[in-house]
Chain A
Amino acid sequence: MYDFKYQLANSQDDAVSAQSSAEDGSFLAGGMTLIPTLKQRLAQPSDLVDLSGISDLIGVSAEGDSVTIGSMTTHAEVASSEIVSSKIPALAALAGNIGDPQVRNRGTIGGSIANNDPAADYPAACVALNATIITNNRKIPADNFFTGLFETALEDGELITAVTFPIPDKAAYAKFPNPASRYAIVGVMVAHTGGETRAAVTGASDSGVFRSSEIENALGDNLDSSAAKAVSISADGLNNDIHASSEYRAHLVSIMASRAATAAG
């Protein structure tokens, strides 16, 4: 780890101004990726602006046909939230299976999606549920938010404040966890919301989460699991690493989609 200046922000404005006035400032959410990255000296920010003291970034609320989760809400809080569990149980279940208990009690939804790890779980939920990412100065549809490997639409100094999820009619997430890291080797979130079926895939592609039109067409309005299972996904462009070949990942996409569809009922 290289030296950096630590600042604890008291408010959103405080955080944004601290970050923008720093030479190379970085927001610190739960730190579950950032801190190990710093420890391995893979990043060298001049300043870390800790968001954990900003109380209005934490919490879950339901309004009309959507659920809004503050960006500094931990995975454990989402998993145990009565609102999330009753309105979007698939999302609570997803949060409850991220990493391990230590990660779930530190890691946050905002940190996870801002990082956009290609094997993280939340991006699949955001895309499949057609969420809106709310920042300190705009609202970004999930479809436009995740732009590539560890890349997002966030501008420098832009702070995620909350994520709003439309409540789906049906949804479920199925993941094949890496036996070592527990990240998704492949995870698929399927959702049917207001007449639209979406299937978002994480873990499979180097460029991060993507929607699979083949899977969505097969699922149809009824989330037909056997049709999803029968889809043959091309291995072209999928990850190939020491844990799984691209062919195996391609196979997993249709199986996990099918299982998510079954679970969604």
Chain B
Amino acid sequence: MNDANNKWIGKRTIRPDGADKVTGQATFGADTTMPGMIWGKVLRSPHAHANIRSIDTSKAESLPGVKAVITSADVTNYSPEKSVILGIQDMRWMTRNVMAREKALFHGHPVAAVAATSQKIADQACKLIEVDYEVLPWVVEIDDAIKSDAPILHEFIEFEGKPSNIAGTLEHKKGDVQTGFEEADVIVERSFTTRPVHQGYIEPHACLVSVSADGRATIWSSSQGQFMVRAMTSMLTDIPQSSIRAIPAEIGGGFGGKTIVYLEPLATILSKKSGRPVKMVMSREEVMRASGPTSGSKSTVKMGIKKDGSIVAAQGTYYLQAGALPGSPIRGAVGCAFAPYDIPNVHALGYDVVSNRSKVAAYRAPGAPIGAFAVECVIDEISEAIGMDPLEVRLKNAAKEGTQAAHGPVYPRIGYYETVEAALSHPHREIPLGKFQGRGVASGFWFNAGGESSSQVNITEDGNVVVTTGHPDIGGSRASIANITAELLGIDYKRVSVLIGDTATIGYSNLTGGSRVLFASGMAVTDSTEKVIVSLKERAAKIWDIDPEAVDWEDGYARPAGANAGMFDPLSLEELAERATETGGPIGAGSQLNTAGAEGGFATHMCDVEVDIDLGIVRIIRYTSFQDVGRAVHPSYVEGQLQGGAAQGIGWALNEEYIYDSEGRVDNPGFLDYRMPVCSDLPMLDTVMIEVPNPKHPQGVRGVGEVPLVPPLAAIRNAIYDALGIRFYGLPMSPPVVLEALEQGEAAE
């Protein structure tokens, strides 16, 4: 596909979901209602850690208006001894996350749920449920959780032969780090901490579930995957997948946090028990207390460099909070940490640590920002130690085609080097800095994912096009798919309508996650569209009574080619649609693929800060992201991803954090206290899209959505060092923290 001739790929077409969203007509998770609908509500643990001796629901059940009460006894149980894998989740943990079973493991952990004819009655019913708790000592911080005398969350989890809060490890090795460090001229070893932060999606979790008398469930919910909702609900309710129809709502943000279920299985069981449709909507406080943020972490990274700038050895140890049940993103931390570099000797080790916090959920490149924060900070320090520009050090050590990554793969053509080159030559780098201003850089990597996607492309009777895919559109996939389809068919973009099918109307499609959607659905839609084009050519050939091989498809028309060129008038898509019945019936094609070849994504960020030294406030005054985006099918959306990731990274670096009180409760469970940045806190976030097309994708697509959150933490930290000469080793670098460091610095002088 010759880019210069593209009519639609690479164009900033109008988003198909835009009008509905700006006029308020889009239907989000909480917007669906049904006749006879009742309200579900979750009773949550008031304790951070407690054995549940018994639950008496009789008083709640006898309250007029209460139609159903459930506990873990109603949810499918999976023994904690044996893993039950679904995608990247383990259902033995998921069943205990949606409803506490043996123990309440964090403040806010669901212990029962009710459905009643009004929200008020549901509230009252929750208060009437009597739970007999045996309150246990609790632990929320990593250092406390891994002490030898720490309260143990799960006796069946053992580490080094005894019960432990370390639930697992992951290790990557390449070469021999000991030998590597011996070759180094300079070795720097530093330890870091990061705090848990929430994805901060604006739309709380919400669903409506109706289970019919014959046991068929229909679920309307906001999620990052209707097929995930179907599968998890099935596994937690014992309703077969064929009897569950999961209908995706528009989604008001997810960032990974909606890749698992919280409410859907509960509402399904409540609906089945009550015989009524049940709606459940989390409050913001419930979202903050009981849905998953990303991990807090502590880490130590050691890197050795030679005077010529070659990094010879790198070692990283990461402890990540999993929350109350195993499954922190250690793979992202240890796998992505050193991935941008061609380092001969690497050792990366991660520990999965449980504690009495809500179970973490995915957050945009899960684990990778934590991995990169430590590494990119240390690279800044080793660069300074040998007197070399940190971008030059990155350029010298950049992973390229053929580099063996520590986490396994040998890279195909990748664009990391290009991101550093672009940063080195960008005008941003030449802008003079004033007093208390500084500039920092950092890079980042994310694996990206392929996997299963389905699509159906149908030609309507009037010659327009309807495309259906199976993943919620969270980052512009509908507009991008319309661009691809219009390009392939050679027709106007406006003639293509892209829909998100539900689990009954489109084939299995994996989550919207892993930056996979446009990569995978682009492949499936391309395949379907190419099949449609073959069919269109066959139909024209039939009408003309020539060989289908002698028909070309060009600019929305079938044209006779070869020996027949010019013998017949071209047939348009409309004309072929009109004559579909006589040429073989409806025109359409589907594809169901397991896609491969989603190669990694890389970015380098450059950030300028200004520090208000009287107050300790760090303001971002300039920010430029350089990212290998493969092919920007819809550039506005790609830029949006780059900007959104940078904005979330700025929040994580400077202000966001979960704060727990002395009782093990989240102390800032709402936006009045949880410090997320807003537009007025940010400068224009500039983006430079570098297109190194992915050779394994028909349009050259690489995932772009997650990489942008990987570099910002270190880029900002390194910029603050440039401004103040102070190196921070923990996040957030909030005003009181920065001020204290400034005062200590003064005192030291």
Which residues of A are interface residues toward B (Cβ below 8 A)?
100, 176, 178-181, 229, 242-245, 248, 251-252, 255
Contact = CB atoms under 8 A, between A and B. Distances in A.
A180 B615 CA distance: 17
Interface string B586-622: 0000000000000000000000000000110100000
A251 B674 CA distance: 23
18 contacts: A100-B678, A176-B617, A176-B735, A179-B675, A179-B734, A180-B655, A180-B672, A180-B675, A181-B671, A242-B673, A243-B675, A248-B735, A248-B736, A248-B739, A251-B739, A252-B615, A255-B614, A255-B615
B673 A243 contact: yes
A142 to B, nearest CB: 27
Query: Which of the listed residues A180, A181, A242, A251 has the most CB atoms from chain B within 10 Å of its own CB?
Result: A180
A178 B615 CA distance: 13
A181 B617 CA distance: 16
A245 B674 CA distance: 16
Contacts of A229: 614
B667 interface: yes
Interface in B662-678: 667-668, 671-678
Nearest to A256: B615
Nearest to A185: B735
Nearest to A3: B120
A180 B673 CA distance: 5
A75 to B, nearest CB: 16
A229 B615 CA distance: 12
A180 B667 contact: no
Nearest to A182: B678
B667 A242 contact: yes
Contacts of B735: 176, 244, 248
B639 to A, nearest CB: 25
A180 B668 contact: yes
A251 B667 CA distance: 24
Contacts of B681: 179
A252 B734 CA distance: 14
A35 to B, nearest CB: 14
Interface string B550-592: 0000000000000000000000000000000000000000000
Contacts of A176: 615, 617, 735
Contacts of A252: 615
Given A178-B675, A181-B672, A244-B736, 10 more contacts: A179-B655, A179-B677, A179-B734, A180-B668, A180-B676, A181-B671, A181-B673, A242-B667, A248-B736, A255-B615
Interface string B84-109: 00000000000000000000000000
A252 B678 CA distance: 22
B424 interface: no
Contacts of B678: 100
A252 B617 CA distance: 12
B145 to A, nearest CB: 22
Contacts of A255: 614-615
Contacts of B741: none
Contacts of A248: 735-736, 739
A176 B739 CA distance: 14
A106 B676 CA distance: 23
Interface in B644-688: 655, 659, 667-668, 671-678, 681
A224 B615 CA distance: 19
A200 B245 CA distance: 61
A214 to B, nearest CB: 18
Contacts of A242: 659, 667-668, 673
Given A242-B659, A242-B668, A180 B674 contact: yes
Interface in B113-165: none
A232 to B, nearest CB: 13
A181 to B, nearest CB: 4
Interface in B728-748: 734-736, 739
A245 B668 CA distance: 16
A181 B678 CA distance: 11
Nearest to A248: B736
A252 B675 CA distance: 19
Query: Which of the listed residues B617, B671, B678, B735 has the most CB atoms from chain A within 10 Å of its own CB?
Result: B735
Contacts of B617: 176
Contacts of B671: 180-181
Contacts of A100: 678
Contacts of A251: 739
Contacts of B734: 179
A248 B659 CA distance: 18
B125 to A, nearest CB: 16
Interface string B705-749: 000000000000000000000000000001110010000000000
Contacts of B614: 229, 255
A142 B668 CA distance: 33
B108 to A, nearest CB: 17
Nearest to A252: B615
Nearest to B659: A242
A258 to B, nearest CB: 8
A255 B678 CA distance: 24
A176 B734 CA distance: 13
A42 to B, nearest CB: 13
- Closest 9 pairs (CB-CB, A-B): A179-B675, A181-B672, A180-B675, A248-B736, A179-B655, A255-B614, A242-B659, A180-B673, A242-B667
Contacts of A244: 735-736
A238 to B, nearest CB: 13
B190 to A, nearest CB: 27
Contacts of B677: 179
A76 to B, nearest CB: 16
A67 to B, nearest CB: 28
A71 B667 CA distance: 35
Nearest to A179: B675
A188 to B, nearest CB: 13
A58 B310 CA distance: 70
A28 B45 CA distance: 36
Contacts of B672: 180-181
A178 B681 CA distance: 12
Query: Which of the listed residues A179, A181, A242, A251 has the most CB atoms from chain B within 10 Å of its own CB?
Result: A179
A178 B617 CA distance: 12
Contacts of B739: 248, 251
Contacts of B668: 180, 242
A244 to B, nearest CB: 6
A46 to B, nearest CB: 17
Interface in B514-573: none
A244 B739 CA distance: 11
A99 to B, nearest CB: 11
A243 B614 CA distance: 17
Contacts of B736: 244-245, 248
B336 to A, nearest CB: 28
A125 to B, nearest CB: 21
A239 B17 CA distance: 46
A243 B617 CA distance: 13
A243 B732 CA distance: 12
B670 to A, nearest CB: 8
B436 to A, nearest CB: 15
A229 B667 CA distance: 33
A176 B681 CA distance: 13
A102 to B, nearest CB: 12
A248 B681 CA distance: 21
Nearest to B616: A248
A149 to B, nearest CB: 17
B582 to A, nearest CB: 59
